[in-house]
Chain A
Amino acid sequence: MNRHWRLETDPDGIGWLHFNHAGAQVNMLSREALEEFATILSRLENITLSGLIIRSDKTSGFIAGADIKDFRDMTNPAEAESHIQRVHALFQRLEGLPFPSLAMIHGFCLGGGLELALACTYRVAEKSESTRFAFPEVRLGLFPGYGGSVRSVELIGPLGAMKLMLSGRSLNARAAMKIGLVDQIAPDRQLKAAAIKLLESRPTPRQAPLLQRLLNSVPARHALAPLLTKQTAKMVNPAHYPAPFALIEHWKSYAGDRSAMFASEAKQVARLLTSETSQNLIRVFFLQERLKSLAADSTFIPNHVHVVGGGIMGGDIAAWCALKGLNVSLQDRKAQYLSNAINRAYKLFTRKLKAQHQIQAAMDRLMPDPRGYAVAKADVVIEAIFEDVSAKQKLFSEIEQTAQPEALLATNTSSIPLQTIGDALDHPERLIGLHFFNPVAKMQLLEIVHSDDTAPELVNQAVAFARRIDRLPLPVKSSPGFLVNRILMPYLLEAVELLEEGVPAGLIDQAAIEFGMPMGPVELADSVGLDICLAVAEKLAPVYHLEIPQNLRALVKRNHLGRKSGEGFYRYQKGKKIIERRSAQYHLPNDLTERMIFRLLNEAVACLREGVVDDPDLLDAGIIFGTGFAPFRGGPMHYIGRGGLDSTRQRLDLLEQRHGEQFHPDAGWANLRSV
């Protein structure tokens, strides 16, 4: 009995193979589905058909890829390799069927799904924005392992195929057609007809154009591979992300020989899959899935969001919500304060939505509302005005009077305790924090801040709202700095401290980047604005006993506020950092990286002890998605665990002896054994 696949033959002798993975929203090539596919293949090999069409019965799309759960905790390369070889054999049997096969594709066609489609003779795709082709393996520290690295190169040539596999980026139907990944595209209403017609006419299967095939020759490969490597090294560090470089090497060495290339693919992907990098990235993938599935059962469906405060944060929050299809009203005290926000929104929409009618629709959804008409219509009201307690209290007591009784009242404050603002409300239990990060359109994390007063149902609603606007919700307890800013601050201050000791800014940043941070702490401080950093530091310092280095105060006093003022720790020309020559003689302190990272780790332990978040995984997720903390390291708590709890703790003790009490281990280290 088949659970996932269903084979039917129509009167014209075409076999229709329907894929409908049991117990899942999307089709995945799980082990079980692959095993069943093998039995289907045996049947197909024993019947005569005029052709086979493989299609998905899921509305979400064709096939979203392998089931990543299968790859979790895979540590044995030999086991991984033999799994890959089994799939290779399966897809080769599909390829070898005595009649043509065709993948009829709508929606997602990713990773293993795309590799299955590539093993078919033809591919027809729905002409729609929701049709998406991609090889996302690189994001998990892998490259395509079900024959994708072989067949994509054969079909569209090495340049297009490598670009697809190295970037992980997705293509819509039109773009896939253009590079030859699919044979034909057709609107939904014509998809079946197009597939049948193509099978009946049986054109010669596509292959890469001659010029592209020539690029697969030995001399071309040896000339091209170093260029690709160089290009890729500009984007990622091979020490952190080996997969793209392994892919280039794999192509360079074996592209001429099909069976050698399959063998190499199996070997290389198995090696990568069982590496720590890949396992950590898979961990991050599941952390993300976990955040996405929080409050999955919530019935809260927000339609209208009212944002008060037309500054950068408020304006960008409003624009983002409108981009994601919500009706949004944006209020500020005077009409002219909204100008900048409208302009930024238009730029965002132009960047994200290509079609003019979609841009117009997004602009129409975003209503400038200087008179605050729409408060009463809102399901969510978000306050994003300046950080002033009494202004916020006054605003919320007004909002409470006009808003619908069931509307979610939210503040975007980063420094004022929720309880303090809530004091102004008749019903403080209605208030929640929605702490967005700057830039809103880029930062995925949204801290859902709750206090003891907050009604638990509200947290669920806020999480549902975060999902509605495609952000990753992280419930955090209201305490100064919440999670992300609090953990980031000691790390930033340590960097500033190092500057004060005379370490060049460039070297500090380089050290952090080499650790895997997306941007060095000094440049990050400059980008956020030193005035803002100082203001946050001053709020957090008394609570968490932080020392604020004098040079930070001095710069702010001189109005050197970072990128926005043209000078901070670095100097900037037209918003671009001026890179200063470093003196070659400078000897780096050998604990430079540790000093920054261990301050961060120590604060993470403190947060966990205080229960700012519920568990170490949520903490890791928050820090990775909120700060970009080296994803391939799996998050701070995971990093501590991998480094060995005792030896990590000993390093910290050593740092304390050497540099003072800012490295004094938090009491929480004692509880960590249970992790």
Chain B
Amino acid sequence: MNANQTYARPVYVVDGSRTPFLKVRGKPGPFRASDLAVGAGRPLLARQPFSPQQLDEVILGCVSSGPDEANISRVVTLRLGCGERVPAWTVQRNCASGLQAVDSAAQDIANGRADLVLAGGTEAMSHHPVLLNNKMLAWLADWNRAKGITARGRHLARLRPDLFQLIIALLHGLTDPVVGLSMGQTAENLAWRFKLSREEMDSFALLSHQHLAQALEANHMDEIEPIYDYAGLLYEMDEGLRADSTLQKLASLRPVFDRPVGMVTAGNSAQVTDGAALLLLASESAVNKHALPVLGKAVDTQWSALDPSQMGLGPVHAMARLLQRNQLNCDAIDYWEINEAFAAQVLACLKAWRDSDYLQNELGIDNSLGSIPEERLNVDGGAISIGHPVGASGARLVLHLLKTLQRTGAQRGITSLCIGGGQGGAMILEATR
């Protein structure tokens, strides 16, 4: 069985929008995950020549929605005014949930089940739940059963401080439950394995900010739609950019994950962020029927898996297989996106890509695939500067890569993400002329 077939019917990406990516500042931000998706989806649908009711389905990636947003995709669909008859489902593949949504949409279009699909991802990491621990839940259940003052009094006496220990879902979510490592520690693993220096990592982080600053300057970020909270406050721009960042400043940051000697810092990691990105995918017949302007084409997608403690190398595995299957080499790719979960992880991918031992041992590839030209990689910044709302990033990458192809007149790009739990995902996108 081959689950990674090239799409059987052409899959077009018509248009896309995203919200500004908003920094998480410790407390719940102004938008829930569904608010963000509505913020991205409303203007996107408003400028289409068809009505939202004509969508065949809506697929959203989201790692963790709020307690009142179960199957968040359906919640968003109804809130977007798609009416009652547009089915919707939510996908979860951790950091690549947004890419999974685009892939799922593409597959439904490719196999003829759907012609017009709204797909993407949303994440309000600042709203990830904080939970009571099981001991506390047990205590509360017994409290409800305790009758009478004495029984209740006795039960009260059983309260212990550790019962009040809260479970912060965000932190748990960023820790691999099988190998017991946080995502940052898996990045430390890669830095160690590929002998990366702190300077290399910080330089890469600095470059991410510089790229983003240039992109903003050159107005390459027009896929961002302004959003307003209920107080009317306007959010127009990504908040992650540190325009005044320098190597010295980055060098002064302390390691977060392997204290006190590690190298992965808040400065050279992706930022914890709230945001949403949505795309409109269409079959050829839908494109013709509604005379839709086409941004580009989703060509093929690959999902691969590897050792969870090396999860950051996932893009290498997915991209290598994807290029092989499509009989493409590096020269055929004009632009590259590797999601910047950690500077160490992207740099490790670049090294592994060139490392014939790694390719031979881990992927069974004899010949070199060529090298990834760094000036064609993450040209407008990445998750280190823009932020990484885990459910949304995959969709943001697809959208921005297509915009880059369109802007530069290039032909083909590849986008990829590493995925917590030891996976990688990659998608080839092409401009249509």
**Which residues of chain A have a CB within 8 Å of any CB of chain B?**
327, 329, 335-336, 338-344, 346, 360-361, 363-365, 367-371, 373-374, 376-377
Contacts and interface: CB of A to CB of B under 8 A. Distances in A.
B228 A368 contact: yes
Contacts of B47: 373-374
Interface in B165-179: none
A369 B17 CA distance: 13
B234 interface: yes
B43 A371 contact: yes
A341 B226 CA distance: 15
Interface of B: 38, 42-43, 46-47, 49, 79-81, 225-226, 228, 230-234, 236
B46 A364 contact: no
A339 B228 contact: yes
A360 B46 contact: no
B interface, by DSSP: helix, strand, loop or mixed?
loop
Contacts of B38: 364
A341 B46 contact: no
B232 A335 contact: no
Contacts of A339: 228, 232-234
A343 B81 contact: no
Contacts of B79: 360-361, 364
12 contacts: A335-B226, A335-B234, A335-B236, A339-B232, A340-B232, A343-B230, A343-B232, A363-B230, A364-B81, A369-B46, A374-B47, A377-B46
B46 A374 contact: yes
B81 A338 contact: no
B76 to A, nearest CB: 10
Nearest to B226: A335
B42 A342 contact: no
Nearest to B233: A339
Nearest to B47: A373
Contact of A342 (B80, B230, B236): B230
B43 A343 contact: no
A336 B233 CA distance: 8
Nearest to A336: B234
Q: Which of B47, B231, B233, B236 has the most CB of A within 10 A?
A: B47
Nearest to A377: B46
Contacts of A341: 232
A363 B38 CA distance: 11
Given A336-B234, A367-B43, A342 B228 contact: yes
A156 to B, nearest CB: 37
A338 B228 contact: yes
Given A335-B226, A360-B79, A367 B232 contact: no
A358 to B, nearest CB: 12
A109 B160 CA distance: 56
A484 to B, nearest CB: 30
Contacts of A336: 234
B81 A327 contact: yes
B41 to A, nearest CB: 10
A363 B231 CA distance: 11
B226 A346 contact: no
Nearest to A370: B226
A167 B49 CA distance: 50
Contacts of B230: 342-343, 346, 363
A340 B228 CA distance: 10
Contacts of A361: 79
Nearest to A343: B232
B231 A338 contact: no
Given A338-B232, A364-B42, A371-B225, 16 more contacts: A335-B226, A336-B234, A339-B233, A340-B232, A341-B232, A342-B228, A342-B232, A346-B231, A363-B230, A364-B38, A364-B79, A364-B81, A367-B42, A367-B46, A373-B43, A373-B47
Nearest to A340: B232
Contacts of A327: 81
A621 B79 CA distance: 39
B46 to A, nearest CB: 4
B46 A373 contact: yes
Nearest to B222: A371
Q: Which of A335, A344, A364, A369 has the most CB of B within 10 A?
A: A364
Contacts of A329: 46
Contacts of A360: 79
A365 to B, nearest CB: 7
A298 B306 CA distance: 66
A290 B38 CA distance: 41
A47 B23 CA distance: 76
A448 to B, nearest CB: 27
A374 B45 CA distance: 9
Q: Which of B38, B49, B228 has the most CB of A within 10 A?
A: B228
A368 B46 contact: no
Closest 9 CB pairs of A and B: A343-B232, A373-B47, A339-B232, A342-B232, A373-B46, A374-B46, A335-B226, A346-B230, A342-B228
Nearest to B34: A360
Contacts of A338: 228, 232, 234
Contacts of B226: 335, 368, 370
A369 B43 CA distance: 7
A371 B42 CA distance: 12
A365 B232 contact: no
A363 B81 CA distance: 12
B77 to A, nearest CB: 12
Contacts of A373: 43, 46-47
A589 B421 CA distance: 89
A367 B227 CA distance: 10
Contacts of B234: 335-336, 338-339
Nearest to A350: B230
Nearest to A339: B232
A340 B233 CA distance: 8
A343 B231 contact: yes
Contacts of B81: 327, 364-365
Nearest to A359: B230
A485 B228 CA distance: 35
Q: Which of B38, B225, B230 has the most CB of A within 10 A?
A: B230
A342 to B, nearest CB: 4
A492 B38 CA distance: 47
A495 B390 CA distance: 65
Contacts of B231: 343, 346
Contacts of A346: 230-232
Contacts of B225: 371
Nearest to A365: B81
Q: Which of B38, B42, B81, B231 has the most CB of A within 10 A?
A: B42
A459 B22 CA distance: 47
A376 B49 CA distance: 8
A560 B38 CA distance: 44
A367 B47 CA distance: 12
Nearest to A315: B232
Contacts of B43: 367, 369, 371, 373
A95 B236 CA distance: 67
B129 to A, nearest CB: 19
Contacts of A335: 226, 234, 236
Contacts of B228: 338-339, 342, 368
A272 to B, nearest CB: 46
Contacts of B232: 338-344, 346
Nearest to A374: B46
B160 to A, nearest CB: 36
Nearest to B38: A364
A364 B41 CA distance: 11
Contacts of B46: 329, 367, 369, 373-374, 377
A342 B46 CA distance: 18
A377 B232 CA distance: 24
A426 B233 CA distance: 39
A513 B429 CA distance: 72
A373 B52 CA distance: 14
A343 B225 CA distance: 18
A307 to B, nearest CB: 14
Contacts of A363: 230
Contacts of B80: 364
